[in-house]
Amino acid sequence: MLTLAARRVARIGGAVRAPAATALSRAGFADDAAAADAAAFNPASGLVMPRKVAVIGAPVASGQGLDGVDDGPQILREQDIRGKVTDLGWRFEDLGDIEPVRPSATDPADTPPGHKARHAFAVGRSCERIAKAVKAAADDGSFVLTLGGDHSIAAGSLAGVLASRPEAGVVWVDAHADINTPESSPSGNVHGMPVAFLMRLAKAASTPGFEWLAEGNELGVPALLPSRIVYVGLRQVDVGERTLLRKLGIKAYDMHAVDKLGIARVMEEALDHLAGKAGARPLHLSFDIDACDPSIAASTGTTVKGGLNYRESHFICEELARSSLLSSMDLVEVNPRLGAAKEDGGKTAAMGVELVSSALGLSVL
């Protein structure tokens, strides 16, 4: 059964309080918002009018080994995400945080022979809760914004999206491919495996905690097809992942491709692949903040030099917004306890909220 912390309340500043009533940000803005709704609306996105953003916090940290990433939803809310969203004409509903399942000594064994998936039971059960919350919000016609937490949460958020919008395509922005299986993973960290579980390359039925995602599951989650995901920004891919990407023919743009082609062409090709020749469909953006260069997003657990710069990061989000097909998004791996300087956590969170704004239609003109 789905458990939301204190049932649809927001955990902000360490306290639990009910979210403020949904409203447009300022008097006299309603007409402008309605006009923006009409201009940007595309029924193929799966959204309904009036446009509403439903925020779900996913403070899951068990998919990796560093403390602090579970503070991500809180610090992102503290950057006035509500105000920035409503200023763009969207209605806003904060559904609070799912209550993550914590690893326990009594959990079923995570590691059969040759199988490495640390804290799989806790992560899998947490993702099930996320999936149910996301599906409910997507069924309501909302733009679902899931705030992590580590990237393992995408096994839940994207499962919920696919259960509601089975034709959805995915833009995965990340320094890493996150397509390791428990057998191929060098670390055993589940935040490097969500795509494998969603594609059923990893055996959910035999992985404690992930049984709910197996073929024929009650939630109605279809397998993510290799043709319906595009990677952007890769720069640290494990050997087993590289083999899978090539074998499955998955469209992937590493940073060499971004440098060579330019981010405009990369996004043009990505959108054509997902929603051009294949026809318009809902799009989901899974944005790991470590896709950004550490110079602009230092507070994350797996920084890799040579990432997306400020404008490249925003351009991805802007182009998806302009497609009028973007209907859900993850923002993950913001860890305010990391970074060389005290202020890095706030700066990284601010960058994340700026990216959300761009994905929801913020533009200069």
Work out the end-to-end distance of the chain between its first and last CA atoms, rounded to an integer number of angstroms.
45
Q: What is the CATH number of the domain that holds 266?
A: 3.40.800.10
- Count of residues making up the chain: 365
- Residues linked to residue 145 through DSSP beta bridges, in sequence order: 55, 329
Residue 70 is part of which domain span? 42-359
Catalytic site positions: 151, 174, 176, 178, 191, 288, 290, 333
Under a CB-based contact definition with an 8 Å cutoff, are residues 151 and 332 in contact? yes
Task: Quote the tokens at residue 189.
Answer: 């960290």
pLDDT, position 30:
44
Does residue 93 belong to any structural domain of this protein? yes
- In a domain? residue 349: yes
DSSP assignments along 47-74, one per residue:
--SSPEEEEEEE---TTSS-TTGGGHHH
| pLDDT for 260 | 98
Could you tell me how far CA 84 lies from the centroid of its own chain? 19
Residue 47 lies in a domain: yes
- DSSP class of residue 143 equals E
The per-residue pLDDT for 37 is 54
* CB distance 84 to 145 below 8 Å: no
Number of domains in the chain: 1
Q: What is the DSSP letter of 314?
A: H
Write out the two tokens for 284.
Answer: 């989901």
Distances (CA, A) of 4 to 8, 11, 95: 6, 11, 8
Residue 163 to residue 113: CA distance in whole angstroms:
32
CA-CA-CA-CA torsion for 43, 172, 84, 33, nearest 10 degrees? -10
Does 311 fall in a domain? yes
Q: Is residue 15 part of a domain?
A: no
The residues that bridge with 15 in the sheet, in sequence order, are 12
pTM exceeds 0.75, yes or no: yes
- Residue 15: the pLDDT is 29
Rounded Cα gap, residues 168 and 362, in angstroms: 23
Say if 255 falls within a structural domain: yes
Would 103 be classed as within a structural domain? yes
Low-confidence ranges of the chain (pLDDT < 50): 1-33, 35-36, 38-39
Phi, psi at 261, each rounded to 5°: -90, -30
Residue 8 lies in a domain: no
The beta strand positions in 248-290, using DSSP E, are 251-254, 283-288
Give percent of the chain above pLDDT 70: 88
Q: At what angle do helices 120-139 and 154-164 cross, to 10 degrees?
A: 30
User: Are 134 and 328 spatial neighbours (Cβ–Cβ below 8 Å)?
Assistant: yes
